[in-house]
Amino acid sequence: WSPVIEDDFGQTRFLTANPIDLIQSGKFQNVPFITGITTDEFGYYAFNVVNNETLTNQINEDFDKVAPIAFIYERDTNRSKIVSEDVKNFYLHDKPVDKSQFTALANLYADAIVGFSVNRAAKLISQYSSECVYYYHFSYQGRYSHFYLPDSNNPTPYGVVHHDDLIYLFYISKLFPWFNATSPEIEMVEKLTTLYANFAKTGNPTPTSTDKLDKVKWEPFTLKDQKYLDIGKKLVMQEKLHGKRYAEWEKLFPLPLAPKQNH
């Protein structure tokens, strides 16, 4: 699903250049921006690997070939081999993939598919936008999820996976029940919908201090402090989300130099 730069055939084009180049050139809408991730994102993909002997053997025997496909970066190049070697060392400590490596593999999936890209977007936009960037980490684990433990007799959420934050923002009737005033999830529904309603109205998710929002002030993300809101049972400001993990990806995929601006 990566963006595709459209060639000019005389038609109206949606994407005319690399998004990074567009942001660095200031060619984007300067509006307040919210972005973030869930704790586990696509980490649950690791279950498919460690619970399948064929896939486990495949990733162990041919990591250089499998990793670029699984973790979505260029393949069959000298550079891709360097990247594969690095992530194998950093996340898996050069050990074979098996069930004992589940958490490490899950972190790799989470960071490669979503986490690092969202972090980079927050950094880029905060650097070049005149408006605030609000960055979050959704860690609240309720009774429901888009992924449940495969070996559980009763539906037990594995963690907080991709889209699980949306459970409390929208009523997804085909998958989840309506949360009423007595549901344990209703407090998170109230918090999340209030944050987004405030943002839609004012451009600031916490324009005033309220008990409903745990008296938190959601501070904007900057390159210096890299602050984010941890959305768990309580709302808490934190700094430098997964700093060491994302720094490894920054090293592997450094940003191009920003184009010179014409004055």
Q: Whole-structure pTM over 0.85, yes or no? A: yes
- Containing 197, the helix (H) or strand (E) segment is helix 186-202
Give the C-alpha separation, 123 to 135, whole Å.
Answer: 10
What mean pLDDT is predicted for residues 201-210?
Answer: 97
Reported as a single tens digit per residue, the pLDDT across 159-194 is 999 999 999 999 999 999 999 999 999 999 999 999
47 closest CA partner among 86, 99, 12: 99
Reported as a single tens digit per residue, the pLDDT across 12-54 is 999 999 999 999 999 999 999 999 999 999 999 999 999 999 9
Looking at domain 33-251, its CATH superfamily turns out to be Alpha/Beta hydrolase fold, catalytic domain (3.40.50.1820)
- Containing 239, the helix (H) or strand (E) segment is strand 235-239
59 closest CA partner among 92, 107, 103: 92
Q: To which residue do tokens 């899950």 refer?
A: 106
Q: So where are the chain's domains? A: 33-251
